[in-house]
Amino acid sequence: MLRFAILELLERKPLSGYELKRRFQGSIVFFWRANHSQIYRELKLMEKDGLVVGSKVPHDWRPTKTVYAVTSKGREALVEWLREKPKLRGVKDEMMLKCFAFHLVPPEEAEAQLAHHQKLHQQRLEEYLKIKKQLEDRHGQLLETRDSILFWNALCLYQAMDHERMYVEWCRWAIARHKEFSAGNRPAARDGRENDSHGKLAG
Amino acid sequence: MLRFAILELLERKPLSGYELKRRFQGSIVFFWRANHSQIYRELKLMEKDGLVVGSKVPHDWRPTKTVYAVTSKGREALVEWLREKPKLRGVKDEMMLKCFAFHLVPPEEAEAQLAHHQKLHQQRLEEYLKIKKQLEDRHGQLLETRDSILFWNALCLYQAMDHERMYVEWCRWAIARHKEFSAGNRPAARDGRENDSHGKLAG
DNA sequence: AGATCATATGACAAGACTGACATATTCGAA
DNA sequence: TTCGAATATGTCAGTCTTGTCATATGATCT
């Protein structure tokens, strides 16, 4: 899995392990991440498998780096993988796992955790918006591009933003429901429910 | 991580490894999953750590099973974990990782994959709706419950549904954008964009 | 009679991932 | 001049996770 993420980036431009790590930050982080120890190890394995070749690039100052480029074998492996039907993999979400047992903690704490999580996702959303803005400044309206790399990149970015937005909204909604629950209110909130997301969507 | 998922379920009711696996299917699958080999191994480790105790329960027919119950130490560990602030973990999404490099495959194939993925998420959403319906048949309107276990359960279920809905919508939207892109259209679609999710939300 | 399904448990290999430790250089700031 | 930050690379231990193979039993279907 990780090796395909690496191949995708190297296919655009040969990079060293360190540069690769930085590229992850700016694009693939949306849906994949890895730390440097993982990346360096994987690069060596991939070289052994003939998917990439490394070449040493000396520097005046700074340590010599090894820049990796995709081989034709690597490119084939990447395309082959891209054409496979992806299977639907399960979500793993620590916050939700906790939420599932929040009846075991004091209600204020549960609510504080929801609020905290909302903030984290909000922040992440804002980072993504910043990245979007940068791309737009450089390339204009993303969806009007003729560049297929940029086009798919944009779709991915939108997906990542949708995800964060959904999460933020859910947190907000959950906190409101929880307040009602704690107060023991039933009917007062009912009229309002038609106007929030779950009133519309959950039917 | 897995051990807390297990503790959450055992805290409600002592279960054998096999039953635990089945419980995962019905509730925690929304945001965590594990196969049986993982569960059995973890249960043994947890018993060694004193978080659970197993007791053999013989059967007339069927092999004897070992039912595990949470110890007070296990319960403490669970609550302690629940009260920690959860850190925001990165998403890992194979489909999106592929999407990022879809410029390398023929456009029809990319689109077919999006459509296929949309269907998978649609199906998952329908499963969740079925589960929701079952819960409602048994307990009435979920958000009006006085049962805190059920309440949090419902919030989690709604989150899972929101997630699937978001994904389905994004796939639909992405396919439409991609058709425009392939056709080389720019302006024709512009008026319509104000009415779809990204016209509204991405600003 | 034979096949298959559901219950019930486990071993094992391989891969993925985290986090801490370790090292070396150069630049710029305090 | 000392400190930290950025560049650049690696090891290692331990954990988590996946997937496959293996083994039983009894029930039910054909």
**Contact criterion met (CB below 8 Å) for B138 and A179:** no
Q: Is residue A89 part of a domain?
A: no
When pLDDT is cut at 50, 70 and 90, the band that residue A203 belongs to is very low
B99 and B79 fall within a common domain: no
pLDDT at A62: 66
B132 and B175 fall within a common domain: yes
Computed over every residue of chain A, the mean pLDDT equals 87
pLDDT at A87: 81
pLDDT at B197: 54
Average pLDDT of the segment spanning B119-127: 92
B128 and B185 fall within a common domain: yes
Average pLDDT of the segment spanning B89-95: 88
**Contact criterion met (CB below 8 Å) for A171 and A116:** no
Residue contact A96–B4, C-beta within 8 A: no
Average pLDDT of the segment spanning A117-121: 93
pLDDT at A201: 44
B188 and B137 fall within a common domain: yes
pLDDT at B10: 94
CA of A90 to C1' of D28 (A): 33
Average pLDDT of the segment spanning A161-174: 96
* Chain segment B17-57, per-residue pLDDT in tens: 999 999 988 888 889 989 999 999 999 999 999 999 988 88
Q: Is residue A122 part of a domain?
A: yes
Task: Record the tokens describing residue A94, joined without a space.
Answer: 């620590």
pLDDT at A61: 64
Last residue in a domain, options B83, B110, B133: B83
More confident residue, A99 or A197: A99
- A150: pLDDT strictly greater than 70: yes
B54 by DSSP, 3-state: which? Answer: strand
Exposed, middle or buried: residue A196 (CB in 10 Å: 0-12, 13-18, 19+)? middle
Which amino acid would we find at residue B126?
A: E
Q: Is residue B89 part of a domain?
A: no
Residue contact A174–B153, C-beta within 8 A: no
Among candidates B3, B10, B11, B8, which has minimal Cα distance to B156? B8
Q: Which of A14-28, B100-114, B152-166 has the lowest mean pLDDT?
A: A14-28
pLDDT at B28: 87
Last residue in a domain, options A26, A54, A83: A83
Among candidates B159, B6, B174, which has minimal Cα distance to B99? B174
Sign of the Cα pseudo-torsion (A96, B8, B36, B133, in order): negative
A100 and A19 fall within a common domain: no
Average pLDDT of the segment spanning A168-172: 97
CATH code where residue A18 lies: 1.10.10.10
Name the one residue in this structure whose structure tokens are 């296919």: A11
- A63: pLDDT strictly greater than 60: yes
More confident residue, A42 or B26: A42
Average pLDDT of the segment spanning A45-56: 90
B70 and B128 fall within a common domain: no
A116 and A192 fall within a common domain: yes
**Contact criterion met (CB below 8 Å) for A181 and A102:** no
A74 and A162 fall within a common domain: no
Count: domains in chain B: 2
Among candidates A46, A68, A64, A71, which has minimal Cα distance to A55? A68
Contact residues on chain A for B35, CB-CB shorter than 8 A: none
Q: Is residue B34 part of a domain?
A: yes
Q: Is residue A88 part of a domain?
A: no
Task: For nucleic chain D, give residues with Cβ below 7 angstroms from it.
Answer: A 16-19, 22, 36-37, 40-41, 43-44, 59, 62-63, 65-66, 90, 92; B 1-3, 33-35, 37-38, 41, 61-63
Angle of helix A2-12 relative to helix A72-83, nearest 10 degrees? 120
A64 and A117 fall within a common domain: no
Q: Is residue B47 part of a domain?
A: yes
Among candidates B60, B58, B65, B59, which has minimal Cα distance to B20? B65
Q: What percentage of chain A reaches a pLDDT higher than 90?
A: 65
Q: Is residue B6 part of a domain?
A: yes
Q: Give residue A29's domain range.
A: 2-83
Average pLDDT of the segment spanning A160-173: 96
CA of B172 to C1' of C5 (A): 39
Last residue in a domain, options A48, A83, A118: A83
Distance from CA of B59 to the nearest CA of A (A): 31
B104 and B194 fall within a common domain: yes
A117 and A196 fall within a common domain: yes
Residue contact B96–A156, C-beta within 8 A: yes
Q: Is residue B88 part of a domain?
A: no
* Chain segment A69-115, per-residue pLDDT in tens: 999 999 999 999 999 887 888 889 999 999 999 999 999 999 999 99
A152 and A123 fall within a common domain: yes
pLDDT at B74: 93
CA of B117 to C1' of D30 (A): 38
